[in-house]
Structure 1
Amino acid sequence: MARKGISRLFSISKKPRSSPSSSYSSSPSSPSLSLPSPRTPLRSLSRTLSDSMIHETIEDAQSAIAKWGPESPALFHGNRAESLQFLNSIRKLGRVMRVLAAAGPVSGLDSDSNSDSLVTAQNIMLTAMKRLERDFHRVLSSNLGGLDPESISSHYSSSRSSESGGSLDGQTISETAMYDLKLIADCMVGSGYGRECAEVYKGIRRSIVRESLNRLGIERIRSSHVQKMDAKELDRTVKSWLGSVRTAVRALFRGERILCDHILSSSDSIRESCFRDIVRETAANLFRLPELVAVAKRPSPQGRRVHRLLDLYDALWEIWPDIETIFSFESMSDVRLQAIQSLVKLGGAIHGIISDYESGVQKDSSKALVPGGGVHPLTSSGMDFLASLTDHARILSEILLDHSKPGDFSLPEEELSETPSGSALSLCLARLILTLLCKLDGKARLYKDASLSYLFMANNLNYVVRKVESTDLKYLLGEDWVSSKEKKIRQFAASYEALAWGPVFLSLSDMTASGGGTGGSISDDIVKEWFGKFNTAFEEAYVKQVSWVFPDRKLRDQVKESLANRISPAYRDLYELGVEWLGESSRFSGTVIRFAPDDVTSYLSELFQGKYSPPRSREMRGLSVPRQLIASN
């Protein structure tokens, strides 16, 4: 069924859709009985029936019906031809009764005998109807297994495409029972005993439907009960409903409609009233549960609750075409409306959860800082929630369109140009992520060190992008969105490097600016000054950042590689210059040249893992790992 939004369901046509059993009732596989349904006009009948013919018909009917007394075999259990003759006698008797009841001056009948004949015929008919009512009850109650709704629905589905035959020999017991019940029902309804037939039918079939629903685990649940359920009990109830609702509709209710349409086909009003009275209450109760769950005010994590509601919405929307067909009678519009009402309530609750998430992010006032500038819990939980929504992307887009107001998906022009158009969910997700990033930007400002703020933003935006790339969010947000955010990550990382390691870069640039000591234009004091600046800047940067983190390995390696490329080669040049200039003055080697090039590289490689991990000890010209770096961590 094409999804066109829940709003279209409110314009349900009053013209009933075709019955689920429209082709079953007319199946040529059922043997025909010579019981013509069109009634001959009474005025014509009265001209053709004389007093003697009327009395003869009554006597024949009385004789035929007398054979089927209380001690006689059950109808259709013996000679089926005699059973059909019995029904034919009743039909003829009914025709005579109609003539007698309408007798007048133009009838040509003896009016003095009309009353006695009519009373006699009525008594005979009453006896026959009691017998038929008893047999109708017997056939219904003795074929519970063969007439269960699920079996009928399954058989109907498999038989629609099969070739039809004209014999009972190949029919199943359920088909035979359905045929016999239809014969009895046609006779009772045609004789004016439709109400009695309907009461028997409803009494038995109503209990069958309820027992079938109980086997499926579907019970009547009141609003007060749902409101008192804890989260676990509510989850169990929803899971049970989801596991049984398709079977209940497509097998149980559908099978019951097929059976009712077939057996009671001689009267549209009786057929409708019987089906309505049998399933109306249980069907409405079944379709009411999603609404009760939607309005239940139970504390539950957003992700857990929204998925519970989305599962209910998806299942109910999937079976809506079946609901519309099976419960097509005008008198069952309340059942259809209950299903629609549940969809509306579910959609509103789902939209409300998404709106509450955005509002919750905006109102988050926590000032707790994530150690080392790592990923904030708001980021991880938020992206888990948003990624999970993609499991129901199609229906969620429909819900957002149905329940959102103008401006709900508004985005800055820059963000709008990066987001694929045409999907309400895409725009919604882009807006929610933008809201999250804006809140994270505010939290980044809580760090006293600006470089740590940039590291924090790089980590959190990187987490967002990686989550998008690893889930179906990537299809909803698109490549342009991902590329734009990856560029922003690189900008954050570059800003972090410039602020956190700027003094180190600057200390090494002094040597480069002087030409690296060529031409003998530098003194020992200048070399010592260069080493002093580097030692101080490197120690301070390392001590400050030894507990900072880049949780994502790829981003961590990229930053470390960038730092190593900018620091290690330049320091190696400085180191070699120092050894060259200060080599003969060994008294300076332990205090001026404090790091070997491999020491610097090792220190850089151990950064951003959230804890101090000293590099391998080295000995080069008597140098060792600076103790003050270890002591300060």
Structure 2
Amino acid sequence: METEKDKHPPEKSSSFVSRDPIQENHEPGPDPKTNLDPDQDRHQNHDIENSTRSEPPTEPETETEPNPEATEEEEENKEEEEETDATNAEESHPPTNFNEVCEEIDRFISVLSRAKESKYAPSINRVGGILQRAMSYLEDELRSLLNDSKTELASSEESNSTGENSCPGYSEEVVLNLNKLATGMINGGYETECFHAYIIARRSILEATLHKLGFEKFSIYDIQKMQWEPLEREIVAWNKMFKQCVNVLFTGEKKLSAAVFSGNSSVADCIFGSLSRSIAVELLNFAEAVAMSKRSSEKLFKFLDVYETLRDVILAMDDLFPEEIENEVKSEASITRTRLGEAMTCIFCELKNSVKADMGKTIVPGGAVHPLTRYILNYLKSASKFKETLEQINKVMDLLGTNLETRSKLYKDTSLSLIFMMNNGRYILQKIRGSGEINELMGDTWLRKRSSDLRQYHKNYQRETWGRLLSCLSHEGLIVHGKVLKPELKEKFKSFNAMFDEIHKMQSVWVVSDKQLQSELRVSISSVVIPAYRSFLARFSQNFTTGRQTEKYIKYQPEDIETSIDELFDGNATPTGRKKP
């Protein structure tokens, strides 16, 4: 029965290579191009078969030697019968869907492989035309099935981040049909067209998925001209996407290729390799462009993110791609990592230069930790994950130490400059001890030296500030011939009160943010000042008349001194002269 598709055969895809039937030097049959009616073709085949299948003359049965020509004629008759059977089968059971078309194609190929082309060239030409139209139909069906699942795939990739679905976006039935279509085209000799249609459709789907996940194609020129803020957002999206490609998209794509081309694993690997390579190269091109972008210290952390992503995906690529593609992609990723490493090393050099040049005249109020110290230590802690930058950290730390010493001299008050060095020194030690990589790099010797410097700053501060106060409590010049000189005693108390008030007023607004260091300072001050003041007070307080004179010169009790010391280094101005109730 003539079907609608026979009347209007699918238009030949531009991806097909023209396949002209074989022509022999014999009288040509009807031109298949001028008559595409399958029923008429079949009647003509039948006429040819009847005209060629005439009965030979009968002879008496005698035992004779086999005639080679007769044997050859019998074989030809057998082939004609097989071709007639195939044609009759087509007439009685016309294909109704693409699965039956695939089966019919196999039967055509089987007949053609046994036919004598010189004798049946017209039939072969007509069958070739039918085969070409069938292949065009299969290609259209293959492309349609692949593209129909495009939207489904995009949503599947987002919702199924674990990659549990073996062929994301396609049901088992669709995958089975894709397999039959691909098998039919390959068996029909149209493997090139099949592979081409599959790769184009799947690449389009993968690129659409990447776009939906936030990846945009940029040229190296675009990235180099891009402002840092939008580039930073693109890097964040790239990091997420590259990991998802390797862990989800590529894994699903590999399973899909293996299912569609299950009859030939080498073909499946080749197609998957071609698809995954093109996507991987696009992603690696972005990383390479980032490495080539203008360098600045603010970019280091994002460069590190890209570096770590490349390191992770290289490990995840094991046994994912065909060996040749895997080696190529890994090589490209390693080259990009190297370029990122060179860029980060240059950023460190620029960082060293900026630390060396940053000798501003602005001081930090209260001797607190300088912003440069915080910035450099946080910077180095993040950078320590990258082994190529570790060798630069030592140099940066030395430059930072020199920078801080220079800045400490900007303070007019020596005690405050020592507080500044203690604050920054303690902060540096804590940060380095909290980073295993930097701690190991700097070594125990460096850490002991820094700890020793901190203790020396502490001693110098105590001597500079509280040593002068304790000189007010010395007995020198107070006793002459066993008698206390009252005017000298009054001056001693007045000097002590005035100096302590001044120290309290100034140093209560100084800042020691590290609670342990703050407590150590207060304890050490109290351990020196309070015992000395209590002893001085016990020995000389009875020389004043109880009442107004005592209150005038003995302004503080030991408990008041302790309370005032506990108010130091809070960063807040506190009234002095308060007494404990």
Q: Normalising to structure 2: TM-score of the pair? A: 0.72
Query: The residue matched to 2:133 in structure 1 has which SS?
Result: helix
Q: Equivalent residue for 2:457?
A: 492
Distance verdict in 2 for CA 1:52–1:346, change over 3 Å:
farther
Distance verdict in 2 for CA 1:449–1:135, change over 3 Å:
same
Distance 1:48 1:548 in 2: 116
Residue 378 of structure 1: how far off its partner (Å):
1.0
Residue 60 of structure 1: how far off its partner (Å):
4.0
Residue 498 of structure 1: how far off its partner (Å):
0.7
Q: Equivalent residue for 2:104?
A: 86
Residue 235 of structure 1: how far off its partner (Å):
2.8
Tell me the amino acid that sits aligned with residue 407 of structure 2. Answer: K
Residue 557 of structure 1: how far off its partner (Å):
2.7
C-alpha offsets along residues 280-306 of structure 1, whole Å, 9 cap, x if unaligned?
54432223222222333276x62xx33
Residue 503 of structure 1: how far off its partner (Å):
1.8
Query: The residue matched to 2:118 in structure 1 has which SS?
Result: helix
Does 2:545 correspond to 1:583?
yes
Asked if the contact 1:504/1:534 (under 8 Å) is kept, the reply is yes
Distance 2:413 2:77 in 1: 117
Greater displacement, 151-160 / 193-202: 151-160
Distance 1:48 1:457 in 2: 111
Q: Equivalent residue for 1:193?
A: 190
Distance verdict in 2 for CA 1:177–1:256, change over 3 Å:
same
C-alpha offsets along residues 416-448 of structure 1, whole Å, 9 cap, x if unaligned?
xxxxxxxxxxxx655544432232122223333
Asked if the contact 1:206/1:278 (under 8 Å) is kept, the reply is yes
Distance verdict in 2 for CA 1:450–1:94, change over 3 Å:
farther
Tell me the amino acid that sits aligned with residue 488 of structure 1. Answer: D
Q: Equivalent residue for 1:384?
A: 378
Q: Equivalent residue for 1:371?
A: 365
Tell me the amino acid that sits aligned with residue 455 of structure 2. Answer: R
How many residues end up aligned between the 2 structures?
505
Distance 2:102 2:357 in 1: 79
Distance verdict in 2 for CA 1:173–1:316, change over 3 Å:
closer
Alignment match of 2:471 (pick from 500, 506, 511): 506
Residue 184 of structure 1: how far off its partner (Å):
4.1
Tell me the amino acid that sits aligned with residue 512 of structure 2. Answer: F
Asked if the contact 1:57/1:92 (under 8 Å) is kept, the reply is no
Tell me the amino acid that sits aligned with residue 612 of structure 1. Answer: A
Distance 2:469 2:330 in 1: 73
Asked if the contact 2:466/2:529 (under 8 Å) is kept, the reply is no
Asked if the contact 2:367/2:511 (under 8 Å) is kept, the reply is yes
Q: Equivalent residue for 2:27?
A: none
Query: The residue matched to 1:501 in structure 2 has which SS?
Result: helix
Gaps (5+ residues) in structure 2? 1-70
Q: Which structure has more RCO (C-alpha within 8 Å, separation ≥ 6)? A: 1
Q: Normalising to structure 1: TM-score of the pair? A: 0.67
Distance verdict in 2 for CA 1:571–1:210, change over 3 Å:
closer
Tell me the amino acid that sits aligned with residue 376 of structure 1. Answer: H
Tell me the amino acid that sits aligned with residue 557 of structure 1. Answer: S
Residue 562 of structure 1: how far off its partner (Å):
1.6
Q: Equivalent residue for 1:465?
A: 429
Distance 2:330 2:369 in 1: 48
Asked if the contact 1:546/1:608 (under 8 Å) is kept, the reply is yes
Residue 570 of structure 1: how far off its partner (Å):
1.5
Residue 497 of structure 1: how far off its partner (Å):
0.8
Tell me the amino acid that sits aligned with residue 465 of structure 2. Answer: A
Does 2:80 correspond to 1:55?
yes
Residue 457 of structure 1: how far off its partner (Å):
0.7
Asked if the contact 1:375/1:456 (under 8 Å) is kept, the reply is yes
C-alpha offsets along residues 37-80 of structure 1, whole Å, 9 cap, x if unaligned?
xxxxxxxxx999943344344444444556786xx41122xxxx
Tell me the amino acid that sits aligned with residue 379 of structure 1. Answer: T
Distance 2:574 2:73 in 1: 115
Alignment match of 1:358 (pick from 346, 352, 358): 352
Root mean square deviation, CA, Å: 4.4
Does 2:91 correspond to 1:95?
no
Distance 1:156 1:473 in 2: 33
C-alpha offsets along residues 232-278 of structure 1, whole Å, 9 cap, x if unaligned?
32233223223333333333333333333443466788656654665
Tell me the amino acid that sits aligned with residue 609 of structure 1. Answer: D
Residue 460 of structure 1: how far off its partner (Å):
0.9
Matches within 5 A, 1:449-464: 449-464=413-428
Matches within 5 A, 1:168-187: 174-187=171-184
Does 2:579 correspond to 1:614?
no
Does 2:137 correspond to 1:134?
yes
Distance verdict in 2 for CA 1:49–1:557, change over 3 Å:
farther
Tell me the amino acid that sits aligned with residue 568 of structure 2. Answer: L
Asked if the contact 1:454/1:492 (under 8 Å) is kept, the reply is yes
Distance 1:590 1:547 in 2: 27
Query: The residue matched to 1:319 in structure 2 has which SS?
Result: helix
Larger Rg: 2
Tell me the amino acid that sits aligned with residue 130 of structure 1. Answer: R
